[in-house]
Amino acid sequence: MLINDALHRLLLDNLTTATLLLNGELRLEYMNPAAEMLLAVSGQRSHGQFISELFTESAEALSALRQAVEQAHPFNKREAILTSVSGQTLTVDYAVTPLFNRGETLLLLEVHPRDRLLRITKEEAQLSKQETTKLLVRGLAHEIKNPLGGIRGAAQLLARELPEESLKDYTNVIIEEADRLRNLVDRMLGSNKLPSLSPTNVHEVLERVGSLVEAESQGGITLVRDYDPSIPDLLIDREQMIQAVLNIVRNAMQAISAQKHDLGLGRITLRTRTLRQFTIGHIRHRLVVKIEIIDNGPGIPPELQETIFYPMVSGRADGTGLGLAITQNIISQHQGLIECESHPGHTLFSIFLPLEQGVTSP
């Protein structure tokens, strides 16, 4: 082992920067725990492996490493795309520094993940917007529900004083519309009920959603299932999670139906995978379940993509704009994360749920 000084080893092991040491043949001599977490490999088991067995980038990048060994020339690379052995794509910056030890040239690699930082920044902004929206909606709901109660009560009193029964049709309209507006406001606020957590197979949730969609579309949309059967049970509220996924899938189905004259061309894919060492908020989780809902519909208009999780934002003329807001609230209560990317012909919603979690208040 080249890292034999106890103090130096202690320092390297506690760095948050992923650090790897390669010998002149580009084989691993050492990696610290930060590198193990980033690449999702064991440093002890990977000792002596060629760099391409840890991650792959490009033939040009491999040549640059060999040149760094031969010419002892350090270099930096920005926004490199690495593919780990698990198939995960990583966007990183890295610095390569040649070192000399007993006549041998070594390479020190310092790897700084970019995608994780960008995701955390984006997520923090999303959560901040979500909290701001909640405050606005709650304030607006209070201002709306109070006068609605007065209007409804006045209409009921007026109905008792009307001389003719036929005139009550007008007061009934007032009462019904007041009730409709109150229900709309309640839906905007979302449920105040905390999730009732129990061990649940996530594929039972997806199968329930799939059966509902297949019944509603009457076989007009192809539903593709791509499951990882090794995923253990999650501690979730089954009914709430069905509602969260169903809101997304129904949106996809309606978008496809509006675009395609032949519904048989429509396709929705439900996919599950696990991710290791994934950060949600400020917490890094050892294992996270990723649920993907993919459709080949027209896509979400670019001007709506930043606001689709806001209440009352919808791309359809007859839409309420509450489905995705409710979905985000449910996922947030499960300490999860939801993301979306979309372009014409491909819309992907990704739900990330930690395998071990508590519950946040709504």
The answer to whether 349 and 324 have CB atoms below 8 angstroms apart is: no
CATH class, range 198-354: alpha beta
Provide the angle, in degrees to the nearest 10, between the axes of the packed helices 202-217 and 238-259.
40
Distance between alpha carbon 294 and the CA centroid of its chain, in Å?
13
Across the range 125-135, mean pLDDT stands at 69
Across the range 126-136, mean pLDDT stands at 69
The answer to whether 71 and 53 have CB atoms below 8 angstroms apart is: no
Between 124 and 6, residue with greater pLDDT? 6
The rounded distance, in Å, linking the Cα atoms of 202 and 359 is: 17
Which pLDDT score is estimated for 286?
83
By DSSP bridging, strand 222-226 and strand 104-113 are unpaired
**Token duo for residue 312:** 């009352």
Give the model confidence (pLDDT) of 230-271 as tens digits: 999 999 999 999 999 999 999 898 888 877 544 457 889 999
Q: 240 to each of 124, 178, 213, 284, 331, how far by Cα in Å?
A: 24, 27, 17, 24, 9
Give the model confidence (pLDDT) of 66-97 as tens digits: 999 999 889 999 888 988 887 778 889 999 99
Residue 296: partners with Cβ closer than 8 Å, 6 or more residues away: 256, 265, 266, 267, 345, 346
CATH class, range 6-113: alpha beta
Residue 318 pLDDT class (50, 70, 90 cuts): low
Which pLDDT score is estimated for 288?
92
Of the chain, the percentage scoring pLDDT greater than 90 comes to 30
Helices (H) and strands (E) in the chain, counts: 9, 13
Residue 350 pLDDT class (50, 70, 90 cuts): very high
Residue 98: partners with Cβ closer than 8 Å, 6 or more residues away: 68, 69, 72, 73, 74, 105, 106, 107, 108
Which pLDDT score is estimated for 67?
92
